[in-house]
Amino acid sequence: SDLTPPISGLCFSSSSKLVCHMTNWSQYRPSSAKFTPDNIDPHLCTDVIYTLATINIFNQITPIEWNDEQQYGRLNSLKNVNPALKTLLSVGGTVNGLNISPEMSLMYLIHFQFSHHKLQEWLPQFFFSIPLDSLCFVFCLQELSKAFADDARDNRKTRLLLSANVAAIRPTIDRAYEVNKISLHLDFINIMTYDYHGHWEAYTGHNSPLYRSSVDSGSHIHHNINSSVAHWLALGAPVEKLFAADSLGAPANGPADAGPYTRTSGFWAYYEICHFIGSATIEWISEQEVPYATYGSSWVGFDDKRSYSSKVQWMNANNLGGAHVWTLDMDDFGGYFCSDGPYPLINHLRMSMGFPPKPTTTRAPTTTRDPMADFCHDRPDGLYENPEDKNTYFQCFQGKTYLHRCQPGLIYWDSCKCCNWP
């Protein structure tokens, strides 16, 4: 059965994670869309996943790009700014990915100062036959988990963590995973809830809907976040280990022409979508709680701050362990395209999940003459409108008041807990 509807409130437990992916191929995008670890805000996410390394014929982790090892160092140097940041190395993409050597993996991760290891378990049925594939995956996780635990015990240090990206479509889940067994060895499980529909289909459909559409039929009634997570739970995955995904790009049906920066037909990054929606008509799919935009014969489904708020409320209502974002490099990370500052969507997601303000955030004045300084006294953590100024809003955290300002031209809307056009 499906999960419960969302309830009000944006408060997450202190154990919540916001896991963000970055890709090593985004460095080749032109101009302001070029992305490297230097573009990462070290206080934005709790964990950052470097995607992607692979496995060579000797079952050893090996880089793909010519400068991966240099970029590892630049990513991990962010922990000098934020010691609480965790970094992961994503490994996969080949048949050998499930024959990885635990000992060599451990040495590689320690050498490059990673905190975590993640298997990029995209579509395992394409690697080799089921059930052989699912059995190998369980064995691989078991061996890696044991190696990490032994290393932590022998060297008296914190254990490396282990996670995986997993499928969201039910037939793939049923064929590819022994959910109750892999859950024993994974610290968290990232469900790829962002490719339910796309240009490969003959009709329009949102890539990451929260709920089913009334026009869905057959197996498509399960092509939504609510149904995917419910299925993982029914198969034995612990709710606190499940992370739902938020995508920063979107498929455009047709396929649409390639974007000028991502250069992939039928798919645009959020910063490319910003340019499109400037002249498009935006509609809201109420039953699925996601937006889409149309212009001429073009149709694009995407996520915005309002849909992120809906998904956070749903995650909170169902006690999920956190969220993961695909990817950092597809948000407007430099603030060059959307007139909404750097990382507009991920920053909104972070605040909506109830994380404390980042160190760069300015505290509201605490003078006794200013009643706004006491605004958050005895209020629950969360976002609140400023009754004196619609261009600003308050974030309450542990009784303290933090003042945030919307981008020029936008005002704060309490209905979506976001800044939007008047």
Instruction: Tell me the mean pLDDT in the region 146-160.
Output: 90
Residue 202 lies in a domain: yes
Contact 37, 52 (CB under 8 A): no
For the residues of 76-119, what is the DSSP string, one character each?
A: HGGGGT-TT-EEEEEEESSGGGGS--HHHHHHHHHHTT-SEEEE
Q: Is the pLDDT of residue 21 over 80?
A: yes
Number of independent structural domains in the chain: 2
Print burial letters for 27-48: b (CB count within 10 Å at least 16), e (below 16).
bebeeebebbbebbbbbbbbbb
pLDDT tier at 146, thresholds 50, 70, 90: very high
Pick the more confident residue, 97 or 142: 142
Say whether both 339 and 389 belong to one domain. Answer: no
Say whether both 267 and 412 belong to one domain. Answer: no
Token pair recorded at residue 86? 């965790």
Say whether both 274 and 336 belong to one domain. Answer: yes
Predicted local distance difference test score (pLDDT) of residue 114: 86
Predicted local distance difference test score (pLDDT) of residue 246: 79
Say whether both 241 and 331 belong to one domain. Answer: yes
pLDDT (tens digit per residue) in 188-233: 999 999 889 877 776 778 999 999 999 999 999 999 999 999 999 9
**Max CA pair span of the chain:** 70
Print burial letters for 261-273: b (CB count within 10 Å at least 16), e (below 16).
bbeeebbbbbbbb
pLDDT tier at 98, thresholds 50, 70, 90: low
Residue 241 lies in a domain: yes
Predicted local distance difference test score (pLDDT) of residue 361: 44
CA distance 153 to 158: 9
Say whether both 156 and 288 belong to one domain. Answer: yes
Predicted local distance difference test score (pLDDT) of residue 412: 87
Residues of the chain with pLDDT > 90, as a percent, come to 48
> By three-state DSSP, how is residue 37 classified?
helix
Closest by CA to 104, choosing from 151, 36, 164, is: 151
Say whether both 265 and 404 belong to one domain. Answer: no
pLDDT tier at 6, thresholds 50, 70, 90: very low
Predicted local distance difference test score (pLDDT) of residue 7: 33
Domain CATH code at residue 147: 3.20.20.80
Instruction: Tell me the mean pLDDT in the region 242-250.
Output: 80
Instruction: Tell me the mean pLDDT in the region 94-113.
Output: 71
CA distance 372 to 362: 14
Predicted local distance difference test score (pLDDT) of residue 129: 38
**Highest-scoring range by mean pLDDT, 245-249, 255-259, 296-300, 367-371:** 296-300
CA distance 262 to 6: 34
Say whether both 100 and 184 belong to one domain. Answer: yes
The rounded mean pLDDT for the chain is 83
Sheet strand arrangement including 392-397: 382-385, 392-397, 400-405
Closest by CA to 17, choosing from 117, 86, 96, is: 86
Predicted local distance difference test score (pLDDT) of residue 299: 87
pLDDT (tens digit per residue) in 352-376: 998 888 875 444 444 343 566 788 8
CA 148 to chain centre: 25
Closest by CA to 21, choosing from 52, 53, 43, 55, is: 52
What are the helix and strand counts (H, E) for the chain?
A: 9, 19
- Give the structural domain span for 392: 371-420
Residue 83 lies in a domain: yes
Predicted local distance difference test score (pLDDT) of residue 116: 58
Say whether both 393 and 310 belong to one domain. Answer: no
pLDDT (tens digit per residue) in 291-327: 999 988 888 899 999 999 999 999 989 999 999 999 9
Closest by CA to 86, choosing from 145, 28, 27, 161, is: 161
Instruction: Tell me the mean pLDDT in the region 23-52.
Output: 95
Q: Is the pLDDT of residue 249 over 80?
A: no
pLDDT (tens digit per residue) in 165-191: 899 999 999 988 999 999 999 999 999
Say whether both 261 and 387 belong to one domain. Answer: no
User: Under 8 Å CB-to-CB from 286, ≥6 apart: which residues?
Assistant: none
Say whether both 312 and 384 belong to one domain. Answer: no
By the 10 Å C-beta count (0-12 exposed, 13-18 middle, 19+ buried), 350 is classed as: buried
Total-model pTM: 0.82
CA distance 106 to 144: 8
Q: Is the pLDDT of residue 275 over 60?
A: yes
Instruction: Tell me the mean pLDDT in the region 104-131.
Output: 61
Say whether both 342 and 379 belong to one domain. Answer: no
Q: Is the pLDDT of residue 124 over 60?
A: no
Say whether both 169 and 240 belong to one domain. Answer: yes
Phi, psi angles (nearest 5°) of residue 134: -65, -35
Q: Is the pLDDT of residue 128 over 50?
A: no
Evaluated on CA atoms 121, 124, 127, 132, the torsion sign reads positive
Residue 364 lies in a domain: no
| Angle of the 102-111 helix axis to the 132-155 helix axis, nearest 10 | 50
Residue 145 lies in a domain: yes
